[in-house]
Chains A and B, each alone.
Chain A
Amino acid sequence: MSEFLVESPFRPSGDQPRAIATLAAGVTDGLRYQTLEGITGSGKTATIAWLVEQVQRPTLILEPNKSLAAQLASELKEMLPSNRVEFFVSYYDYYQPEAYIPRTDTFIEKDSAINEEIDRLRHSATSSLLLHRDTIVVASVSCIYGLGSPVEYRERMLRLEKGMLLDQRVLLRRLVEMQYNRNDLVLERGTFRVRGDTLELQPAYSNEAVRLSFFGDEVEEIKFFNPVTMEIKGKVSEFTLFAASHYATGEETLHRACRSIEEELQVQLATFESQGKLLEAQRLRMRTEHDLEMLAETGVCAGVENYSAHLDGRKSGERPYTLLDYFPSDLLVVIDESHVAVPQIRGQYAGDRSRKETLVEHGFRLPSAMDNRPLNFDEFMELVPQMVFVSATPGPFEIEHSDQIAEQVIRPTGLLDPIITVVPTKNQIDDLRGRLNTVIARQERAIITTLTKRMSEDLTNYLVRAGYRVQYLHSDIDTIQRIEILRSLRLGEFDILVGINLLREGLDLPEVSLVAILDADKEGFLRSRSALIQTIGRAARNANGEAVLYADKITPSMRDAISVTERRRVTQIAYNEERGIIPTTVTKNVADILGRLRSESAPEPTNKVHGISSLETLASDDLAIEIGRVEDAMLAAARDLRFEEAAALRDYLHTLQLQGLNVDDLRQTFDA
């Protein structure tokens, strides 16, 4: 059996060896929760790879979004070239879940564009997990959503060996059961074709196709080939094929499922009728009967996941199977950027549930559709035997629950966390100008963060009039423009960047030596402990790095941020002194960073429900609901550090409140 093996020109350095040893010992001793508190630039990814090598456990790494997951997966692949590094994220390039808005009688049908490549990678992840122990899966929160039963998936597995006897007709039936489609013209992912004694098929999880040559009923040869060029890639003596769908089921299971769906339908219809909900009953009957027919005939139907409870034979309320069930029981779960990811995991269940309740209530789905759902937080925690949280600013959950916290605060470059200066707001603009002049004279750059859009605009205008070269990075700027702006900042086409949220990816620029935070003492999500620590950290890529907090008071958040940053600085200075390291700014090639950013700008799944509705259309009841919704969305955005969005929602919330209603009244309306 293969083992995890890191192949890297580097060895652990700085405080990596200690962090790896601590965490590995913790895993071996069976500690349930551990935290790696590591700053950006300290080599957290490498630490994870070395940790996995030490403990030899199949590992799931959860990232808060697709781009981070993709980046991490590619870095890990480089470090663990002989092992399986898989990628499991939602396969929707665009996704709008089905929903029903009773007030306006609008049913929004599920709308999604499935990304073929990502679908293939998902199948590749599950098949690797069943075949190889040395598997790491890098996943988004998609890994806590329902997936077909691993038992069925394993049962549908087909092992082909050279020399085995196999009736072709039996094989074809098996393939159809495994949700492979016969297509004698075009060979695509998830299809097969038969030409005389040759059967060609392309597994759902592979870019390569397989050709089986038969001699009578004997498998004579198994070859891999490129389905486009037809070039032969190699011969194998055995090969395991997995189903083309995570919901592929055997005939018997399907039969049983259809019967129980039918039963549930009757019960629900009776309920609706007794309540006089005839429209709902009619709606449900039509839809479910149609789906039953499709299931019986083809084994699948649109939205088959909504029947997962019946297909898996789960009781109402029982948790769905997820990717976690495809792992062996001694898996290790690493939650990266845990200060964002943990609240994200927590939030999935409630959002999904309220949407489904409406669908069920109005006859769009059977009640069992509610069992097709993400895991709730407790279920997730219970399923995972051992967990390692990774973050520069671990959240309250991690800190409270971790059995031990390993620190990693040293950068191989020797760069220090910035010096923090607290400056009173009186004459702050003069002070800021003085500091900007120093930075510009050194040919370095500055970033300034404000609390409001208005302040950003005013400040930008003021600085422009005063002769500075400034740009305002606001929320309406799209990814491509943002890249261009960052590029000109790096190239020195301007010196100062102003914005509300400066925590977005790509803002780790070595040229930036000054981070100015205005209104640092206005406690709130934009000036919370972790927001401050992360923003201050933006100046940690430059040897002259300094963060200036404009504040008349030191708030508890500021105090924490200052303490944490200073403690790290002290450790870093001591390490440098011991080894005679002089911190030098890394001169990263401008093109490199931007190239990376560009590839990260792949579209994220969008959810239109969170959009901002137009004001005119809101009656007062709706206004109350809208305010509640916006408030929730704002808090959720803030929790995820999507500050620009949060700030936009906050401003929108103010507009709503100005409509003559105050929030407290609304809350009461709401609760009543």
Chain B
Amino acid sequence: MIRIAIAGGIGAGKSTVLSHLAEKGFFTIDADEVSRTLYEPGQVLFNALVDAFGAGILTDRRIDRAFLARLVFPSADNLARLNAVTHGPIIEEIRRRIEESGARAAFVALPLYRQHHRSTLSLDEVWGVLASPEVALSRLVTLRGMALEDAQARLATQGSNGERAALCDVVVWNEHGHSELLTAIDALLVERGL
């Protein structure tokens, strides 16, 4: 089995790549989606988060992710505290799903890719999908309907493309629209005989 991570910042185009791969019949996992599932009431992260932060993070008995975002984006300490709670279970769940699938190739979209994921997820390769901050900003605002101010703040907390590229084996730039991005991805698949 070959395991490949799709890394990239917010608004870079990870999900576009992932759904393209899924359409081609590959096994794909979105770490965001995994964490959303685990945040559901009764799931492992739900309990762990309420234990760690208290009922103040709930709205209508569900974890208020918008509030969590407000809590952790500005403060590195808060983010570290949240990650300490959530990382383990999320990685564990991704591993479990990959192993269960028994697929020939698995693709995992990771918004916050770190060097240690290579070993914890037994990754073979990391592909970076990168976009310039301007492009990412316009995507967040036009495609996801985020407020300009929120989008700017979110982007401001992310690392630079240079830092990100340094961690990846392959970098694909997403500056000129879908078809170019997906052509580049297809080329990578062909190179690897997938």
- A residues apposed to B, CB below 8 Å: 419-424, 521, 551-556, 558-559, 562-563, 566-567, 569-571, 573-574, 577
Residues of A within 8 Å of B62, CB to CB, are none
Residues of B within 8 Å of A562, CB to CB, are 67, 70-71
Determine whether B105 belongs to the interface, using a CB cutoff of 8 Å to chain A.
no
| Cβ-closest chain A residue relative to B73 | A566
The one of A553, A569, A577 in contact with B53, judged by C-beta atoms closer than 8 angstroms, is: A553
Determine whether B56 belongs to the interface, using a CB cutoff of 8 Å to chain A.
yes
| 8 smallest beta-carbon distances between A and B, as pairs | A553-B54, A554-B56, A574-B149, A566-B70, A559-B56, A570-B153, A421-B77, A421-B75
Residues of A within 8 Å of B124, CB to CB, are none
Residues of A within 8 Å of B67, CB to CB, are 559, 562-563
Q: In the complex, are the beta carbons of A571 and B71 less than 8 A apart? A: no
Q: CA–CA, A558 to B54, complex, Å? A: 11
- B residues apposed to A, CB below 8 Å: 53-57, 67, 70-71, 73-75, 77-78, 81, 148-150, 152-153, 156
A sample of 24 cross-chain residue pairs with beta-carbon separation below 8 angstroms, ordered by A number, consists of A419-B75, A420-B71, A420-B75, A422-B71, A424-B81, A521-B54, A553-B53, A553-B55, A553-B56, A554-B53, A554-B55, A555-B54, A556-B55, A558-B56, A559-B56, A562-B70, A566-B70, A567-B70, A569-B153, A570-B153, A573-B149, A573-B153, A574-B153, A577-B152
Q: In the complex, are the beta carbons of A421 and B78 less than 8 A apart? A: yes
Residues of B within 8 Å of A419, CB to CB, are 74-75
| Cβ-closest chain B residue relative to A562 | B71
Residues of B within 8 Å of A555, CB to CB, are 54, 56
Residues of B within 8 Å of A559, CB to CB, are 56-57, 67
Residues of A within 8 Å of B77, CB to CB, are 421, 423
The one of B57, B74, B78, B81 in contact with A569, judged by C-beta atoms closer than 8 angstroms, is: B74
The one of A421, A521, A554, A570 in contact with B150, judged by C-beta atoms closer than 8 angstroms, is: A570
| Cβ-closest chain B residue relative to A555 | B56
Q: Which of A424, A555, A566, A569 has the most CB of B within 10 A?
A: A566
Residues of A within 8 Å of B53, CB to CB, are 422, 553-554
| Cβ-closest chain B residue relative to A552 | B54
Q: CA–CA, A569 to B75, complex, Å? A: 12
Q: Given A421-B78, A422-B53, A554-B54, A566 and B150 touching (CB < 8 A)? A: no
Q: CA–CA, A558 to B58, complex, Å? A: 12
Residues of A within 8 Å of B152, CB to CB, are 570, 573-574, 577
Residues of B within 8 Å of A556, CB to CB, are 55-56
Q: CA–CA, A420 to B79, complex, Å? A: 11
The one of B57, B74, B81, B148 in contact with A566, judged by C-beta atoms closer than 8 angstroms, is: B74
Residues of B within 8 Å of A422, CB to CB, are 53, 71, 75, 78, 81
Residues of A within 8 Å of B78, CB to CB, are 420-422
Residues of B within 8 Å of A521, CB to CB, are 54
List 10 other contacts, CB 8 Å, given A423-B81, A521-B54. A422-B53, A423-B77, A553-B54, A554-B53, A562-B70, A566-B71, A573-B156, A574-B148, A574-B152, A577-B156
Q: In the complex, are the beta carbons of A570 and B149 less than 8 A apart? A: yes
| Least Cβ–Cβ distance between A233 and chain B, in angstroms | 56
| Least Cβ–Cβ distance between B121 and chain A, in angstroms | 29
Q: CA–CA, A577 to B150, complex, Å? A: 13
Q: In the complex, are the beta carbons of A554 and B75 less than 8 A apart? A: no
Q: In the complex, are the beta carbons of B74 and A420 less than 8 A apart? A: yes
Q: CA–CA, A559 to B66, complex, Å? A: 11
| Cβ-closest chain B residue relative to A435 | B77
Q: CA–CA, A555 to B75, complex, Å? A: 18
Q: CA–CA, A424 to B57, complex, Å? A: 15
Residues of B within 8 Å of A570, CB to CB, are 149-150, 152-153
| Least Cβ–Cβ distance between B140 and chain A, in angstroms | 13
Residues of A within 8 Å of B74, CB to CB, are 419-420, 566, 569
Residues of B within 8 Å of A563, CB to CB, are 67, 70
Q: Which of B81, B149, B150, B152 has the most CB of A within 10 A?
A: B149
Q: Which of B56, B70, B152 has the most CB of A within 10 A?
A: B56
Residues of A within 8 Å of B75, CB to CB, are 419-422
Residues of A within 8 Å of B150, CB to CB, are 570
Residues of A within 8 Å of B73, CB to CB, are 566
Q: CA–CA, A198 to B50, complex, Å? A: 85
Residues of B within 8 Å of A577, CB to CB, are 152, 156
